[in-house]
Structure 1
Amino acid sequence: MQNKTLRIATRKSPLALEQTKYVQKKILSLYPDLNIKLVPIVTHGDNILNKSLSKIGGKGLFIKELERALLENKADIAIHSMKDLPVNITKELCLVSICKRGNPLDTLISNNYRSINQLPKGAIIGTSSLRRQCQLITYRPDLIVTPLRGNVETRIAKLDQGQYDAIILATEGLNRLSLKHRITQIIPAELSLPSCGQGAIGIQSRIHDKKVLFFLSHLNHINTFIEINAERAFCRKLESGCQIPIGSYAILKKNKIWLRGLIGSPNGKIILRGERIGWYDTGEKMGYSLADELLRNGAKNILNNLNIKQSYCI
């Protein structure tokens, strides 16, 4: 790729740009003579901030414009937070690489309380995630969970203005924005199981662009790829249109994968959980198997009810 230009599509949010700079640095470490051009894009999801994601079509709204840039040859690759990338990718595109995962867990930020357990009854908690809402309400039904949209800095500003007693964000996003000092509590997975792919950055490209696929495949972190492949298999089996409360989290250690998954109702009244442990090369099968188990145990009813209620989603 020497003396060539690589065009990178990215969202314009501060976090997305930081993630893109991280990938850019990785690419230049392999190909120092490569010319890189950023193609910043404002997505539909970035423009609609007064509605919850579940009501406007889910996380895919952050992806469509970036994928269009690839399909229209306005960019060569696109950088995504893996938790935002739909499990079913447009057929002309593919996931080239997944970079080494950072911290996948959720974080509580509060100016007055040190943990979820210390929050008083009736405390107002801000989150844009049905997954976080579902688990939090199950654990602390006495709390009030309200929608919170905007980039990371905007959400923290709303907390500092006193609109919320606490907010929940992704830990790795705070780390990348040098906001680690704002973390009050890193929430254990037992209390808030992460979103599929949370904490990792994915690189997407056109499936027939063999040169890009070959060179950028060197950025793939194999352990992270194996973990997230298992998580995405679980979600792929359960995914049903708009955003629904689903969590999946895999840990690869000594060639064994520990996969946990959950699906619940947005009001937290129902949460189904399960787990699998198996060899590293069975992650995808484990994901499908675990999803099948939850479907048999009631997940199908949850999905059917959500589909009826959310049939208006775009």
Structure 2
Amino acid sequence: MYDKTLRIATRKSPLALEQTNYVKKKILSLYPDLNIKLVPIVTHGDNILNKSLSKISGKGLFIKELEHALLENKADIAIHSMKDLPVNITKELCLVSICKRGNALDSLVSNDYQSINQLPKGAIIGTSSLRRQCQLITYRPDLVFSPLRGNIETRIAKLDQGKYDAIILATEGLNRLNLKNRITQIIPAELSLPSCGQGAIGIQSRIHDKKVLFFLSRLNHLKTFIEINAERAFCRKLESGCQIPIGSYAILKKNKLWLRGLVGSPDGKIILKGERRGWYNTGEKMGYSLANELLNNGAKNILNNLHIKKFYYI
């Protein structure tokens, strides 16, 4: 049993705090006598709201300050959206647990249209995700995609102000903030393959803090861990820490794992897809194998071009 106050580093956004309080309740359900203190932190990414993340340094901007809090012993664990956590973690830190995943898919939010198919020609879609954009523009090349930053409430407010005909958000983020009523369509994975780890919460800590690792490992949801481990293996082989338009999504059912992966060009002119099916304990191997297949089929050229042009994915 941990014998002191557990300090949890978290971003200050409403969604981050909701996710942190979710984890806090899970911890207290196992260790009701534990004293827990939240350590709210504003990250560099939270402060840059006038630029698309596709123009700067990608999602790592949302975790660096939280990791520094761990490394400087200002916090004991940090809570992240798994889709924000780079596949290569700072060597002094580790991923302790992944909580049970919610809905991993993207959602369309609109005040006037009920689905992607109903959107009129030239409709303005708000998203800063090149992953979402490159897939949806392939399906609907007549749509116009416009950058959209800020927390979920800010993005919805911009929609309500009439700046967009629709916006694309992560379904589980809306669910966690009790905004399910704003969802007009949950977009099938066939149209928008999710980001690696989307819909799940990860807990990070120092690799040598054995007490924390021991008692927080009980929060790990094995099915979710297996799925996301396969997704992260796929992205790791593609070196997606450099931020590129990638989707990866794994589903575990009856000990069988189904992994889908995607690499695309930002303009949607090239979309490379593949999949693997295998036993639950072969997820990492499947991820590497699928990544190699796409690399050999043209993904290597896409990634090289993106590195040169300094494109990034969200």
TM-score interval, smaller chain = over 0.9
- 8 Å CA contact retained: 2:55, 2:311: no
1-side partners of 2:303 and 2:180: how far apart?
A: 36
- 8 Å CA contact retained: 1:53, 1:243: no
Distance 1:225 1:312, change over 3 A: closer
Q: Deviations over 1:130-162 (max 9, x none)?
A: 100110111100000011000000000000000
Q: CA deviation at 1:242?
A: 3.5
Distance 1:14 1:311, change over 3 A: closer
- 8 Å CA contact retained: 2:113, 2:119: yes
- 8 Å CA contact retained: 2:57, 2:312: no
What is residue 24 of structure 2 aligned with on the other side?
Answer: 24
Q: Deviations over 1:228-268 (max 9, x none)?
A: 00000000011245321100000000100000000000010
For residue 145 of structure 2, what is the amino acid of its counterpart?
Answer: V
2-side partners of 1:163 and 1:268: how far apart?
A: 23
- 8 Å CA contact retained: 2:54, 2:312: no
Task: Verify: 1:73 aligned to 2:73, yes or no.
Answer: yes
2-side partners of 1:47 and 1:200: how far apart?
A: 24
What is residue 199 of structure 1 aligned with on the other side?
Answer: 199
- 8 Å CA contact retained: 2:53, 2:312: no
1-side partners of 2:155 and 2:91: how far apart?
A: 35
RMSD: 1.3
What is residue 123 of structure 1 aligned with on the other side?
Answer: 123
For residue 136 of structure 2, what is the amino acid of its counterpart?
Answer: L
- 8 Å CA contact retained: 1:242, 1:310: no
- 8 Å CA contact retained: 1:124, 1:166: yes
What is residue 232 of structure 2 aligned with on the other side?
Answer: 232
Q: Structure 2: which 5+ runs fail to align?
A: none
Task: State the TM-score, normalized to the length of structure 1.
Answer: 0.98
Task: Verify: 1:145 aligned to 2:125, yes or no.
Answer: no
What is residue 95 of structure 1 aligned with on the other side?
Answer: 95
For residue 281 of structure 2, what is the amino acid of its counterpart?
Answer: D
Q: Structure 1: which 5+ runs fail to align?
A: none
Q: 5 Å matches for 1:218-257? A: 218-257=218-257
What is residue 184 of structure 1 aligned with on the other side?
Answer: 184
What is residue 8 of structure 2 aligned with on the other side?
Answer: 8
Q: Deviations over 1:284-311 (max 9, x none)?
A: 0000000000000000000000000118
User: What's the % identity of the aligned pairs?
Assistant: 89
What is residue 106 of structure 1 aligned with on the other side?
Answer: 106
For residue 101 of structure 2, what is the amino acid of its counterpart?
Answer: R
- 8 Å CA contact retained: 2:262, 2:274: yes
1-side partners of 2:240 and 2:43: how far apart?
A: 22
What is residue 44 of structure 1 aligned with on the other side?
Answer: 44
Q: Write out the 4+ residue segments of structure 1 that deviate beyond 3 Å after TM superposition.
A: none
